[in-house]
């Protein structure tokens, strides 16, 4: 490839709209251009990187026996309605009607559609099956941001396993876990496997692969002692044992004028760990009280997971006043007839403080088990840094990360909904057991850049770089320099090296800056001074180190550096 013929529109300055290093650098280096919020055109350099990522994923899928398919991106509503997710997906699903008025959707994911194909499986003898595809997905993100990290249109490698029983699913899950670990090692992404919420996918468990990054939108809880790691939506911790007093025979009312917050109540001898925080939510249309310890925050995803609610929102003040007779700040669950959910940290607590459902009045001496009718106990609190690991007792750390992959144990949910059954060894017909395994291709590209960049631009790992080496003629107007550069370029091409020659009539500094900005791993520079010595300069992008190499040894040296 000749740089003079290549479309790589590099920018001198950072784009004003870029809000993450990968976003800024992929725009500056001429890899992508924004069409509109959440939609990006991939330019030639990005397409080459994307193809490298897809190639690595394909190789690792082949290694575990997965077969590639390609299913439609436009889906009829019927299979989604059968699974119950037509309503569950809410506004994030792009929906449309065809000319006959039939409902369709642009696929966010493909569990239902792969399950439809799997209805042709008949016997356990055909299992396990491992199927995957690279397909465009669509998601109506309310706040697309971060360039390729949160978009409304993206490529997903989604895979699906089909087994006759749960031990088979466990084996498939471990195979994909291993494949994903190898994929991210080859991509140069430090992906940490973390316990995660399964969200709208459902199933018995899931693992996210998280790339630590300050621009990540997820929070990962990690133990430096035993290696425990979980998304904050799933993470747990151990709390010090509570030492409550005997309390009172029954709750006692007391006036608290002007008290509206947990902090306000501290002045009345009520430490945060002895207060009961009462939150009011509407879960699938039902007003529900959610209780936590006063000093603990709620994690809403844990609330969703615990209840299975499809629609969740905080109640507004008017709804709260109508239901409880008071406004937030004086709310409690003692004596109410509404549904009550409580965090496990409140189980067995005595001598607690809570609102009396009368403005400016609270209760003391509350015994949770005696005075509150809890309908569901669950882990609802959000873990905080410094709390103790449930496995080894070390203090937990929290850091930001980018989710680059997610694998799920789906179980038989979709098989039952879509009628995917096979003949079992004992002659019964049973639903197949499914798993789902996804990697976002463009998001992986962004994660690589987040991990591999410096002040001069992108620093691609060799495994995914658009070219392995750039040949630069330092003085394009010098016939001898230009010819020597062309000879080196031709020899590298003949040797199977992925090479681009910068033959533009530009100053050497411009060419060097573009080679660095675009992240090509090695640069071979041919200049008058080196030509007089019979050498070329070979520069490594990652380290900036330059070595002089005899012209007749450039090909062998570059091949060695490129691992060929």
Domain limits of the chain? 3-235+398-449, 252-378, 469-562
Q: In what helix (H) or strand (E) does residue 280 lie, and over which residues does it extend?
A: strand 276-283
3-235+398-449 and 469-562: identical CATH topology: no
Q: Dig out the tokens for 229 from the structure.
A: 């790691």
**Other CB atoms within 10 Å distance of the CB of residue 209:** 26
SS3 call for 383: coil
**Other CB atoms within 10 Å distance of the CB of residue 215:** 19
Pairing state of beta strands 218-222 and 397-411? antiparallel
Looking at the DSSP bridge assignments, the partners of residue 435 are 161, 409
Q: Which residue has the tokens 């006759």?
A: 164
Q: In what helix (H) or strand (E) does residue 51 lie, and over which residues does it extend?
A: helix 44-63
Angle of helix 44-63 versus helix 441-451 axis, rounded to 10: 110
Domain 469-562, architecture per CATH: 3-Layer(aba) Sandwich (3.40)
Q: Dig out the tokens for 424 from the structure.
A: 């079992």
Looking at the DSSP bridge assignments, the partners of residue 162 are 129, 434
CA angle 525, 528, 530 (to 5 degrees): 60
Reading phi first (left if > 0) and then psi (alpha if -120 to 50, else beta), residue 264 is in: alpha
Burial-class residue 383 by CB neighbours within 10 Å (0-12, 13-18, 19+): buried
- Homologous superfamily of domain range 252-378: YbaK/aminoacyl-tRNA synthetase-associated domain (3.90.960.10)
Strand ranges for 200-246 from DSSP E: 205-212, 218-222, 229-231
CB 522 within 8 A of CB 539: yes
Q: What are phi and psi of 302, to 5 degrees?
A: -65, -35
Looking at the DSSP bridge assignments, the partners of residue 288 are 281
Following DSSP, what letter does each residue of 402-458 receive, concatenated?
EEEEEEEEEETHHHHHHT-EEE-TTS-EEE-EEEEEEEEHHHHHHHHHHHSEETTEE
**Other CB atoms within 10 Å distance of the CB of residue 8:** 18
Following DSSP, what letter does each residue of 290-324 receive, concatenated?
EEEETT--B-HHHHHHHHT-SSEEEPPHHHHHHHH
pTM of the model: 0.90
218 preceded by a cis bond (ω within 30 of 0):
no
Domain 3-235+398-449: CATH class, spelled out: alpha beta
- What Rg, from alpha-carbon coordinates, does the chain have? 29
CB 172 within 8 A of CB 130: yes
**Other CB atoms within 10 Å distance of the CB of residue 55:** 13
Alpha helices in 89-151 (DSSP H): 111-117
Rounded distance, CA 540 to CA 493, Å?
19
pLDDT in tens, the chain (564 residues): 999 999 999 998 888 888 899 999 999 999 999 999 999 999 999 999 999 999 999 999 999 999 999 999 999 999 999 999 998 888 899 999 999 999 999 999 999 999 999 999 999 999 999 999 999 999 999 889 889 999 999 999 999 999 999 999 999 999 999 999 999 999 999 999 999 887 665 566 889 999 999 999 899 999 999 999 999 999 999 999 888 988 899 999 999 999 999 999 999 999 999 999 999 999 999 999 999 999 999 999 999 999 988 889 999 999 999 999 999 999 999 999 999 999 999 999 999 999 999 999 999 999 999 999 999 999 999 999 999 999 999 999 999 999 999 999 999 999 999 999 999 999 999 999 999 999 999 999 999 999 999 999 999 999 999 999 999 999 989 999 999 999 999 999 999 999 999 999 999 999 999 999 999 999 999 999 999 999 999 999 999 999 999 999 999 999 999 886
Rounded distance, CA 418 to CA 79, Å?
7
Least Cα distance to 379 among 341, 338, 332, 339 occurs for 341
SS3 call for 235: coil
């Amino acid at each position: 490839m000749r740089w003079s013929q290549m479309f790589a529109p590099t920018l001198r300055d950072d784009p004003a709209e870029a809000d993450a290093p990968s976003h800024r650098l992929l725009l500056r280096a001429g890899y992508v251009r924004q069409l509109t919020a959440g939609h990006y055109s991939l330019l030639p350099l990005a397409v080459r990187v994307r193809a490298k990522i897809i190639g690595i994923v394909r190789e690792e899928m082949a290694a575990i026996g997965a077969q590639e398919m390609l299913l439609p991106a436009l889906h009829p509503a019927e299979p989604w309605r059968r699974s119950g997710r037509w309503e569950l997906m809410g506004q994030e699903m792009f929906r449309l009607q065809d000319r006959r008025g039939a409902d369709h959707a642009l696929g966010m994911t493909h569990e239902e559609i792969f399950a439809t194909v799997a209805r042709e499986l008949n016997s356990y003898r055909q299992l396990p099956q491992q199927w995957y595809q690279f397909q465009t997905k669509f998601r109506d993100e309310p706040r697309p941001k971060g360039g390729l990290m949160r978009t409304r249109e993206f490529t997903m490698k989604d895979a699906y396993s089909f087994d006759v029983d749960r031990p088979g699913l466990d084996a498939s899950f471990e195979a994909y876990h291993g494949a994903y670990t190898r994929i991210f090692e080859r991509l140069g992404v430090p992906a940490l496997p973390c316990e995660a919420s399964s969200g709208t996918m459902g199933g018995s468990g899931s693992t996210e692969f998280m790339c630590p990054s300050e621009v990540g939108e997820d929070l990962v809880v990690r133990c430096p002692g035993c290696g425990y790691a979980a998304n904050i939506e799933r993470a747990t911790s151990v709390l010090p044992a509570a030492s409550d007093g005997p309390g009172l025979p029954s709750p006692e009312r007391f006036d608290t004028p002007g008290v509206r917050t947990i902090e306000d109540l501290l002045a009345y001898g009520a430490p945060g760990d002895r207060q009961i925080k009462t939150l009011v939510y509407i879960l699938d249309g039902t007003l529900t009280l959610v209780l936590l310890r006063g000093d603990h925050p709620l994690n809403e995803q844990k609330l969703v997971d615990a209840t299975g609610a499809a629609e969740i929102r905080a109640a507004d003040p008017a709804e709260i006043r109508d239901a409880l007779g008071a406004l937030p700040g004086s709310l409690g669950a003692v004596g109410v007839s509404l549904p009550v959910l409580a965090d496990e940290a409140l189980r067995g607590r005595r001598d607690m403080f809570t609102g009396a459902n009368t403005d400016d009045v609270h209760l003391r001496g509350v015994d949770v088990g005696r005075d509150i009718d809890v309908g569901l106990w669950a882990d609802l609190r959000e873990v905080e840094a410094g709390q103790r690991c449930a496995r080894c007792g070390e203090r937990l750390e929290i850091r930001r990360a980018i989710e680059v992959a997610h694998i799920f144990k789906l179980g038989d949910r979709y098989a039952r909904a879509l009628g995917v059954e096979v003949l079992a060894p004992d002659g019964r017909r049973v639903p197949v057991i499914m798993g789902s395994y996804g990697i976002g291709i463009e998001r992986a590209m962004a994660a690589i850049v987040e991990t591999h960049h410096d002040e001069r631009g992108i620093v691609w790992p060799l495994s995914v770089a658009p070219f392995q080496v750039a040949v630069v003629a330092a003085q394009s107007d010098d016939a001898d320099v230009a010819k020597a550069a062309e000879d080196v370029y031709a020899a590298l091409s003949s040797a199977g090296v992925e090479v681009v020659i910068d033959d533009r009539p530009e100053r050497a500094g411009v060419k060097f800056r573009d080679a660095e900005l675009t992240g090509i791993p090695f640069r071979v520079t041919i200049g008058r001074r080196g030509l007089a010595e019979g050498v070329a300069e070979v520069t490594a992008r990652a380290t900036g180190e330059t070595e002089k190499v005899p012209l007749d040894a450039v090909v062998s040296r570059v091949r060695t550096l490129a691992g060929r």
